[in-house]
Amino acid sequence: MANSLLSTPDKKSAAEKRHPLGRVGKATDIAASTVFLLSDQSSWITGQVIKVDGGISAIK
């Protein structure tokens, strides 16, 4: 989905610099949050929006 945004080293570097965590997200970042939400550790969480975006939404 983000292939056109990350298609060159310069574009990828610019995207990494925009993110507060200093890197572009990976599929495993989304997978880890999904695993957590499916686990018993998240049993007390209800009706929340969990942003898995490296902090970019906090600065926009």
**CB atoms near residue 7 (< 10 Å):** 10
Give the chain's domain count.
Answer: 1
Q: What is the mean pLDDT of the chain?
A: 92
Which comes out higher in pLDDT, residue 25 or 1?
25
DSSP state of 42: G
Domain that holds residue 33: 3-59
CATH number at residue 31: 1.10.8.400
The first and second tokens of residue 18, run together, are 């925009």
Residue 14: predicted pLDDT? 93
Residue 33: predicted pLDDT? 95
* pLDDT band per the 50, 70, 90 thresholds, residue 5: confident
Full-model pTM: 0.73
For residue 22, what are the CA distances in angstroms to 19, 44, 46, 49? 5, 31, 30, 23
